[in-house]
Amino acid sequence: VNPQRQITSFFSKS
């Protein structure tokens, strides 16, 4: 099973 990344690791808090 491929681990799932989170969207928060790509886009930063603005």
Partner 1 sequence: MLELRLVQGSLLKKVMESIKDLVNDANFDCSATGFSLQAMDSSHVALVSLLLRSEGFEHYRCDRNLSMGMNLGNMAKMLKCAGNDDIVTIKADDGGDCVTFMFESPNQDKIADFEMKLMDIDSEHLGIPETEYEAIVRMPSSEFARICKDLSTIGDTVLISVTKEGVRFSTKGDIGTANIVCRQNTSVDKPEEATIIEMETPVSLTFALRYMNSFTKATPLATQVTVSLSSELPVVVEYKIGEMGYLRFYLAPKIEE
Q: Which residues contact 10 (CB under 8 A, 6 or more apart)?
A: none
The footprint of partner 1 on this chain (CB under 8 A) covers a number of residues equal to 13
CB of residue 1 vs partner 1: minimum separation in angstroms? 8
What are the tokens at 8? Answer: 């928060």
Could you give the CA distance from residue 3 to residue 9 in angstroms, rounded to a whole number? Answer: 14
The interface with partner 1 within residues 1-14 (CB under 8 A) comprises 2-14
Residues that bind partner 1 (CB under 8 A): 2-14
